[in-house]
């Protein structure tokens, strides 16, 4: 399980869906990948976005092989911004869900920089990986029982995104 950041300052959380669309255009259009490189994204308010299906291996422009990794993307540049509690909690929830759903080991969450030469996931977020903070949050979710992530699509998803973009 590997955590990433976008490396682009997010600023206001209203920007989050638009930034993901930009990211998707870059990855599909310029890089020629099937979709955005990661499995789920998490914004500063803890909203979780479905990116590529977890059954499909991630992509990377760096020199590690993401086969077998579940990839979570936190929106922001954590060399310049501070990760929020809501963002960490939702990243942990997504990792716990993936560990249960895909039977992957729940005791190995790492930062991208542990596998490749990159600043990702940024100093502030990486400190939360190294300290065991993120791992502790994942374990807490797993200890509490089955992690259920409810997927929304269609009009309900459109409405949810519109609310995020309106700052509600
Ligand atoms: Zn990364």
Instruction: Name 19's Cβ contacts closer than 8 Å, sequence gap at least 6.
Output: 6, 8, 10, 75
CA of 129 to the centre of ligand 1 (A): 13
CA of 59 to the centre of ligand 1 (A): 10
Q: How far is C-alpha 121 from the geometric centre of its chain's CA atoms?
A: 10
Collapsing DSSP to helix, strand or coil, 4 comes out as strand
Asked if the model's pLDDT at residue 42 lies above 90, the reply is yes
Which class for 63: exposed (0-12), middle (13-18), buried (19 or more C-beta within 10 A)? Answer: exposed
Report the distance separating Cα 137 and Cα 154, nearest Å.
31
Q: How many helices (H) and strands (E) does the chain have?
A: 5, 5
CA of 152 to the centre of ligand 1 (A): 26
Which pLDDT tens digit goes with each residue over 53-83? 999 999 999 989 999 899 999 999 999 999 9
CA of 155 to the centre of ligand 1 (A): 31
Confidence of residue 106 (pLDDT cuts 50, 70, 90): confident
CA of 40 to the centre of ligand 1 (A): 13
CA of 3 to the centre of ligand 1 (A): 7
Counting residues of the chain whose pLDDT is more than 70, the rounded percentage is 100
pTM over 0.85? The answer is yes
């Amino acid at each position: 399980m590997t955590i990433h950041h976008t490396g682009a300052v997010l600023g206001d959380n209203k920007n989050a869906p638009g930034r993901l669309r930009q990211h998707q255009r870059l990855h599909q259009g310029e890089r020629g990948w099937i979709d955005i490189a990661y499995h789920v994204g998490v914004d500063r308010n803890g909203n979780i976005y479905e990116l590529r299906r977890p059954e499909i291996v991630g992509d990377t422009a760096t020199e590690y092989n993401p086969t077998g990794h579940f990839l979570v993307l936190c929106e922001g540049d954590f060399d310049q911004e501070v990760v929020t509690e809501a963002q960490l909690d939702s990243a942990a929830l997504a990792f716990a869900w993936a560990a249960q759903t895909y039977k992957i080991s729940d005791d190995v969450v790492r930062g991208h920089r542990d596998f490749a030469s990159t600043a990702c996931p940024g100093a502030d977020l990486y400190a939360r990986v190294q300290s065991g903070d993120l791992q502790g949050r994942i374990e807490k979710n797993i200890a509490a029982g089955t992690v259920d992530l409810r997927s929304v699509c269609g009009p309900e998803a459109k409405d949810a995104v519109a609310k995020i973009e309106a700052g509600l």
